[in-house]
Amino acid sequence: MTGAGYDQGIVTAVTARVPAKVNLQLSVGPPRPDGYHDLVTVFHAVSLFDEVTVAPAERDTVVVTGEGDGSVPLDGSNLALRAVTALVDTLGPGCRDAPGVSIEIRKRIPVAAGLAGGSADAAAALAACNELWGTGLSPQELRDVASQVGSDVAFALLGGTAIGLGRGDQVTPALATGTYHWVLAFAAAELSTAAVYAACDRLRASRGGRPGQPGEARHPAPVGPVGPPQLDTALMTALRSGDPAELGPLLTNDLQPAALSLLPDLRRGLTAGREHGALGAVVSGSGPTCAFLARDARHARDLAVALAGAGVCRTVATVVGPAPGATIIGVAAEKS
Ligand code: C5P
């Protein structure tokens, strides 16, 4: 067995837990020749978790249960499966004794919601197989494999609050203090990340520059070509202060106008959240989930009740951030 040498015997299954993310800043550059966009983003992992269990098997398989399970592909396009394939390609076929691996994904993170749920499952599968096979890869080597699978996968491994550069896959932990209380409002619809980036490019082309955000004074709509994105130093200072009242007004998302153009009803949710005292209200990533920053745990509960009652979303969840990245939470073993 190539797996980790546990005293209790041969490892037969490993379970990892992995968080959803919101973006505190998401600044998008112009489209690159490869179709991606250079980003400067500040990722923030929140306490909404998927769990992934991997076990040796005759062939690679995926089973998905839970939130949005019907929308998750079970073929070779499944991100967790692609992550396992990328890891095997990196290590060589001798990295595992069994010919395949069974992947069981238990979902709580909604699918195609701007919360990087698919990337989270890929990160969990990487962390779990890394443990199952005792690969000896360093965290950075594992993140390099992750970035082959998707732009958000490396962050899901890291967790916490982190700056993302490049496609978002070059991640560095950010200096941040405090615990932040959020309400996530889940929409009935799904949005494809690629479609939202394409809508962002179209909006910018039609406006001759970067679109400003509704009610967003910090990014007035400039004209001219889109420049390289810059890290918001005021946001970084707010994160060091740990004060949600400082952070709230600084949340920005260049993809928000595009997400709103595709799902205009999201505006009602953002407005309702602000009316109920949210310190910040922003579309999460490519949407359609909206994230609302609350003053504290009690305010988050009140805000969640108000948003649920306003009928502006499918359902709500209260979460805290920062949450840890992909973490091994269970190892099953049998006597050797
Ligand atoms: O990397 P990932 O597979 O998660 O990206 C999904 C899609 O989102 C890409 O195919 C691309 O259209 C868009 N994207 C982008 N620029 C990024 C990240 C994602 O254009 N930095």
For the chain, the average pLDDT equals 93
Q: How far is CA 18 from CA 13, 24, 54, 100, 197, in A?
A: 17, 19, 14, 22, 25
Tokens 């509704």 correspond to 214
pLDDT above 90: residue 316: yes
> Hey, whose CA ends up nearest to atom 11 of ligand 1?
194
* Whole-number pLDDT of residue 6: 57
How far apart are the C-alpha atoms of 279 and 249, rounded to whole Å? Answer: 7
Centre of ligand 1 to C-alpha 319, Å, is 26
Residue 21 is a catalytic residue: yes
pLDDT above 80: residue 165: yes
> Hey, whose CA ends up nearest to atom 12 of ligand 1?
194
Listed as own residue / partner, the contacts of 94-97 with beta carbons closer than 8 Å and 24 or more positions apart are 94/2, 95/2, 95/133, 95/135, 96/2, 96/56, 96/129, 96/132, 96/133, 97/1, 97/2, 97/3, 97/56
CA–centroid distance for 309 within its chain: 27
Closest alpha carbon to 141 in 122, 154, 131: 154
Nearest ligand 1 atom to the CA of 151 is: 1
Say if ligand 1 is within 6 A of residue 39 CB. Answer: yes
Nearest ligand 1 atom to the CA of 79 is: 3
Centre of ligand 1 to C-alpha 258, Å, is 14
Say if ligand 1 is within 6 A of residue 107 CB. Answer: no
**Average pLDDT rounded to a whole number, residues 84-90:** 97
pLDDT above 70: residue 314: yes
Tell me the β-bridge partners of 320.
181
pLDDT above 70: residue 222: no
Give pTM, 2 decimals.
0.94
> Hey, whose CA ends up nearest to atom 10 of ligand 1?
194
pLDDT above 70: residue 232: yes
Tokens 């909206």 correspond to 290
pLDDT above 80: residue 221: no
* Whole-number pLDDT of residue 89: 97
Radius of gyration of the chain, Cα coordinates, nearest whole angstrom: 20
How far apart are the C-alpha atoms of 179 and 323, rounded to whole Å? Answer: 9
**DSSP line for 36-60:** -EEEEEEEEEEEEEEEEEEEEESS-
> Hey, whose CA ends up nearest to atom 2 of ligand 1?
150
Token pair in block for residue 216: 């967003």
Closest alpha carbon to 292 in 308, 274, 310: 274
Centre of ligand 1 to C-alpha 195, Å, is 9
Which of 36, 78, 121 is the best mutation target for the ligand 1 pocket, counting ligand atoms within 8 Å of the beta carbon and taking the most?
36
Say if ligand 1 is within 6 A of residue 150 CB. Answer: yes
User: Where residue 204 falls among pLDDT bands split at 50, 70, 90?
Assistant: very high
Residue 335 is a catalytic residue: no
pLDDT above 50: residue 2: no
Give the pLDDT confidence of 13-55 residue by residue, as tens digits: 999 999 999 999 999 999 999 999 999 999 999 999 999 999 9
**Average pLDDT rounded to a whole number, residues 318-334:** 97
Catalytic member of 21, 121, 232, 254: 21
User: Which residues 6+ apart lie within 8 Å of 257 measured at CB?
Assistant: 200, 203, 211, 212, 213, 214
Length of the chain (residues): 336
* Whole-number pLDDT of residue 216: 45
Nearest ligand 1 atom to the CA of 116 is: 4
Give the pLDDT confidence of 114-136 residue by residue, as tens digits: 999 999 999 999 999 999 999 99
Closest alpha carbon to 257 in 247, 249, 267: 267
pLDDT above 90: residue 226: no
**Average pLDDT rounded to a whole number, residues 214-221:** 45
Nearest ligand 1 atom to the CA of 197 is: 20
Say if ligand 1 is within 6 A of residue 16 CB. Answer: no
Nearest ligand 1 atom to the CA of 198 is: 12
Catalytic member of 50, 121, 152, 254: 152
CA–centroid distance for 237 within its chain: 23
User: Where residue 208 falls among pLDDT bands split at 50, 70, 90?
Assistant: confident
